[in-house]
Amino acid sequence: MKSLAALLKTAVLAGLIAGVAASIFHLVLAEPIIERAIALEEQQSRAGGTSPEEPLVSRAVQKVGLVVGLLLYGAVWGLFFGAAYRLLERHVEARTVAARAGLVAALLGWSVALFPFLKYPANPPGVGEPGTIGYRQALYFGFIALSVVGLVLVLGVRRITVALQTGSERRFRPVALGVYVLYVVALYALMPANLDPVDMPTRLVWTFRGVSFAGLVLFWAVLAVAFTRLARTRAYA
């Protein structure tokens, strides 16, 4: 890349493209599941003798908010991706921008999105007590922070091991991998579980979780590909 500013601009633009792709994905696949969950929640309310509460925000506005939120998500994580790319540029074995971008996206996406999702998966409307929102958010963001610490830890072990072994890259991998596996297993086991009751049909909940997880994979994959193509087009690579 010619400069840090150019790199970050390219990464943010790639993040916005990934946000657009994720928005389309969720509007097509996740929104119908949300509609079914809302309808089921309303049926349960009527069956219990209570009238369904009117939403504070209409569904149309919520869908617009979804798109805006994913665009912001893309811009923010695109910026972090660009910073991580620059930090790891000299320490990642990759001969091409595509290989390096894919590796950085995989490491960052796993740490801040996919791994936390496995512990605290997304749920459709009607799942979770309103009074525990703050607690659940604290657990989720705390898990992300600790997950990133694990990534920094394994990269630090890599640098130390390679230095001690006079540049023998292959011999470090089992050590670093072992340290990381122990860390993530301990983190997953020790962090508290979300104990909110799940009153929705299991199939609907797991379908929503599967679509949400696939949306995260799509976002980080598109981010890596878009960054690679933009870097080449702009002759920054």
Mean pLDDT of 184-211: 88
Neighbours of 22 (CB within 10 A): 26
Residue 137 corresponds to which tokens in the numbers above? 């958010």
From CA 105, how far away is CA 56, in angstroms rounded?
Answer: 36
> Which DSSP category does 228 fall into?
H
Size of the chain in residues = 237
pLDDT tens digits, 65-111: 999 999 999 999 999 999 999 888 766 666 788 888 999 999 999 99
Structure-token match 């860390």, residue found: 183
From CA 52, how far away is CA 218, in angstroms rounded?
Answer: 35
Measured distance between the N- and C-terminal CA atoms of the chain, rounded to whole angstroms:
5
pLDDT tens digits, 26-75: 999 999 999 888 888 777 655 655 655 666 667 788 889 999 999 999 99
pLDDT given for residue 192 in this prediction: 93
Residue 29 corresponds to which tokens in the numbers above? 């696949």
pLDDT given for residue 1 in this prediction: 47
Q: Look at residue 232 and tell me whether its pLDDT is greater than 90.
A: no
From CA 68, how far away is CA 192, in angstroms rounded?
Answer: 31
pTM for the complete prediction?
Answer: 0.86
Structure-token match 């504070």, residue found: 56
> Which DSSP category does 114 fall into?
I
CB 36 within 8 A of CB 211: no
In sign, the C-alpha dihedral spanning 187, 152, 75, 227 is negative
pLDDT tens digits, 112-128: 999 999 999 988 876 76
Residues sharing a CB contact under 8 Å with residue 116, sequence separation 6 or more, in sequence order: 140, 143, 144, 147
From CA 70, how far away is CA 216, in angstroms rounded?
Answer: 11
